[in-house]
Structure 1
Amino acid sequence: MKVLEMQTCGKINSIYVARNSELEIPSQALQNCNDLKDMTLLSNNFTKIYNDSFSGLSNLETLILLNNENVKVTKTLMSHLINLREFTLGTYETIDVDSLNHLVSLEAVALIGLKHELSILEELLNGLENLNSITFSGNGLEIINFEYFHQFKKLRTLSLSENHLTNIPAGAFDELTTLENLILSGNQIASLDHNSFRGLSNVRNLQISRNLITDLNSLPFSHLINMIHLDFSLNPIEMLPSQLFEDNKNSEFLNFNGCKISELQSNVFKSLPKLFQLALSNNNLSTLSADSFIDLPELVYFNIENNKITRLNSNAFGTLEKLWTFDIRSNQLDEIEPGFFNKFPRLASFYGEGNICVRETISFVYNIDFDKENAFSTCFYNWQFGKTTTIPTTTSKPAITTNAATNTLHSISSAVAILGVIVMFVINRRQQ
């Protein structure tokens, strides 16, 4: 049996104890750890934790108890943690309903995989008016009393992920005017009402991936006027309506990877002047209609990998002054209109392998300039010099050769370009 006991903690402010069998925390074992701020107990099998095992931790601010066996959290055990600000409890542990109510300094509570009744989870947080972050994740919840959260007037983050929720009723979050982050991923939500997110004008981050949503014609994002980040990936939706983002002019990151999208209605992204990253990979798009991607002056990263696109049409794109990375790998591309790349004056990375024409393609192109004889791929050679409007499928190489030194240069260029993307992102974020 192992014993966690520290006669003196000195200036230690953080303890991490993980993956121990037959571990015991004796009575008053941490009595002299007055400077301890953070403690994590992860995946341990405890033989005993005494009611005063945490005595002496009056300055502890963060306590994480995850995947530990034979741990019961009681009011007496927690009574010494008078300055606790963040508490995470999950999976195997059990907790008495009155264990936290006296910890008025708590700002963030995460209850993960406890499988308790909703009423117990709610009772645990009663009276904790300073909470700004609540996580009820992986608890198997099918129904939520959304009005319960209205009492938390400082709430900025609410996570209800990995449950079994099927519906977000209209006005569910009406009173949560301070909320900035809403996480609903990994549920069974099948539809959204136009007013499902009413009242959430300050939400900046909405994660609703891995649900069962097939229709966005209700335009549910209209109330999220300050939304910056949307993760809608892995929902079985087939079409994005043209007015979907009409009221989301502050959006910067949109993720629709892994859906079943086969149609983008005209101008669906037109109203997004701050859009920085657009991800549409692993869908069923076969064509890009006219005006699909126009008026996107801040777009830097565009990913449409693993679709069924056969042709890149110039009229689908406006001039994207800041586009740096274009990823169209694993499509069925065999034609690019002449002048297509002229719309992307700063394009540094074009990923194209896995298409019909790319047997000889070096998939990463740095500082693309199709006005000079510096082609990096057979695939683009004839098209580049105006000999055809269709990318040839020949495997014969042009007069331009690639040797070891050239390949090394390409590798270095790849690394430089990737670094450039990161630098541009950081600069962009700081300027905002």
Structure 2
Amino acid sequence: MKFALTLMLILILAMSNTTAGSDLEIIRSIGASWRQQGGIVVELKTDCTNFEDEHYQKLGQLTSLKSLSISGKNLSDHQLEMLSGLTELESILINGSELTDEGYHHFKAFQKLRTLSLFHPSRNCEGFTGAGLAYLKDLPKLERLTFAGATAGDEAFEAVGQISQLKEFRQWHNWESPNAIKHLVGLKHLESLQIGQRLPHRDSSLTPSFDNETLKTVAQIKSLKRLSFQEARLSASGLMQLQPLPNLEQIKLSLIDITKSDVETIKAAMPTVEVDWTPITEAEEEATLKKKLKI
């Protein structure tokens, strides 16, 4: 009996080592960096600039992965589908994609996913509105979502507003209107929110998507604990609208046009809230707020 158990352990270890060896062969063939845990590959980061479908097929064989970060080339619908076997994934970062709205349903394969970061998603892809983000509501463990640098606006925010399990949402440099933020009010579990400015684009209004008026809506999300604001012109009177938030612990301000005296007023009015302010320089205001964002 003892011999049989020992033999079984040896076989299990041998199979584990064989699997790990095969995984490393795949990783080396696609030129990725990785991290192992207990002899198993759990984290992978790769530049997909020279990837073809065969590389995504190989990537889809690394079924022990818990974290995946890919960039360098736009990911398509069918390439995302090729990764659907990575069911242990808890974190995905994609920098650059050409997913259609319907293509977002492929994310439903990752039922253990907790964090999804989408940078420059489907940028300049005709027909993409961001409505496909609504498919993410079927990921029960998804808590953190980043959506930044998209040529999509209010429909994307409306979709995010349906992902009721979210605890953290970060967004900046999209095409939303000032009304987009209102779609987030129904997120009853949201604890952390990062807001940046919309990017101006052809034939669009130059009205800022984020200003003091925005904060009136933010104050309706009573579950919020942490707020991070960037690229806007704010004042003490605007930020005072956040006082009623019962759980608020921290406000971060970066690339914000606000006076030092206004910041001191906020700190005095909300002594239990940590106000982390990095003053904007004249060069940053000129380059970012005026020239880039046109506010």
The TM-score, its normalising length taken from structure 1, stands at: 0.46
1:119 to 65, 78, 83: 78
Shift of 1:275: 1.7
Whether contact under 8 Å (2:60, 2:85) holds in the other structure is yes
1:238-277 alignment runs, 5 A limit: 238=211, 239-240=213-214, 242-246=216-220, 248-260=221-233, 268-277=241-250
Change (3 A) 1:260 1:179: same
**Between structures 1 and 2, the one with greater strand share:** 2
Q: Which runs of 5+ in 2 are unaligned?
A: 1-12, 32-38, 199-207, 282-295
The number of residue pairs the alignment matches comes to 240
Deviation at residue 89 of structure 1 after TM alignment? 1.6
Distance in 2, Cα, partners of 1:216 & 1:240:
8
Q: Does 1:196 align with 2:159?
A: yes
Deviation, 1:113, is 1.4
Question: Residue 119 and residue 311 in structure 1: after superposition, are their counterparts in 2 closer, same or farther (change >3 A)?
Answer: closer
Confirm or deny: 8 A CA contact 2:45 2:68 kept in the other structure: yes
Q: Of residues 64, 84, 87 in structure 1, which corresponds to 2:41?
A: 84
1:250–1:61: structure 2 CA closer, same or farther, 3 Å change rule? farther
Which string of whole-angstrom CA distances, capped at 9 and with x for unpartnered residues, describes residues 185-210 of structure 1? Answer: 22223325664224433322211122
Q: Distance in 1 between matches of 2:26 and 2:69?
A: 9
Shift of 1:162: 2.4
DSSP 3-state at the match of 1:211: coil
Q: Is the 8 A contact 1:87 1:109 kept in 2?
A: yes
Contact 1:88 / 1:110 at 8 angstroms: preserved in 2? yes
* 1:129 aligned partner: 87
Partner SS state of residue 169, structure 2? strand
Match of 1:222 among 178, 185, 209: 185
Aligned residue identity for 1:250: S
RMSD of Structure 2 on Structure 1 (CA): 4.0
* Higher mean displacement: 228-237 or 266-275: 266-275
Counterpart residue number, 1:322:
272
1:59-78 alignment, distance < 5 Å: 72-73=29-30
Using the TM superposition, give the Cα deviation of residue 99 of structure 1 relative to its aligned residue in structure 2, in angstroms. 0.8
Residue of structure 2 in register with 1:163 after alignment: 121
The percentage of aligned residue pairs carrying the same residue is: 19
Aligned to 2:173: 210
Larger-gyration structure (1/2): 1
Cα distance 1:209–1:109, how it changes in 2: closer, same or farther (>3 A)? same
Matched AA of 1:252: K
Q: Is the 8 A contact 1:83 1:103 kept in 2?
A: no
1:153 aligns with 2:115: no
C-alpha spacing 1:86/1:62, structure 2 compared with 1 (3 Å) = farther
- Give the 3 Å change call, closer, same or farther, for CA 184–327 of structure 1 in structure 2: closer
| Counterpart residue identity of residue 321, structure 1 | P
Rate the CA distance shift 1:199–1:57 in 2: closer, same or farther, 3 A.
same
* 1:307 matched to 2:262: no
Contact kept in structure 1, 2:250 and 2:276, CA below 8 Å: no
Residue 182 of structure 1 deviates from its aligned partner by 0.6
Distance in 2, Cα, partners of 1:186 & 1:64: 31
1:277/1:87 Cα in 2 relative to 1: closer, same or farther (>3 Å)? same
Does structure 1 residue 182 correspond to structure 2 residue 145? Answer: yes
Separation in 1, partners of 2:274, 2:75: 48
Give the TM-score taking structure 2 as reference length: 0.63
Secondary structure of 1:88's aligned partner:
strand
Is the contact between residue 235 and residue 262 of structure 2 (CA under 8 Å) also seen in structure 1? no
Q: 1:63 touches 1:84 (CA, 8 Å); kept in 2?
A: no
The structural deviation recorded for 1:172 is 3.8
Q: Is the 8 A contact 1:89 1:110 kept in 2?
A: yes
Residue 232 of structure 1, CA deviation? 1.1
Q: CA deviation at 1:59?
A: 7.0
CA distance in 2, matches of 1:250, 1:61: 42
Aligned counterparts of 1:270 and 1:64: Cα–Cα separation in 2 = 53
Q: Which has the higher helix share?
A: 2
Greater relative contact order, per chain length (Cα 8 Å cut-off, separation 6+): 2
Other-structure match for 2:66: 107
Deviations 1:149-169 (A, max 9, x none): 122211111122123446322
Which segments of 5 or more consecutive residues in structure 1 lack a partner in the other structure? 1-33, 35-54, 66-70, 75-81, 284-305, 332-432
1:360-413 CA deviation, whole Å, 9 max, x = no partner?
Answer: xxxxxxxxxxxxxxxxxxxxxxxxxxxxxxxxxxxxxxxxxxxxxxxxxxxxxx
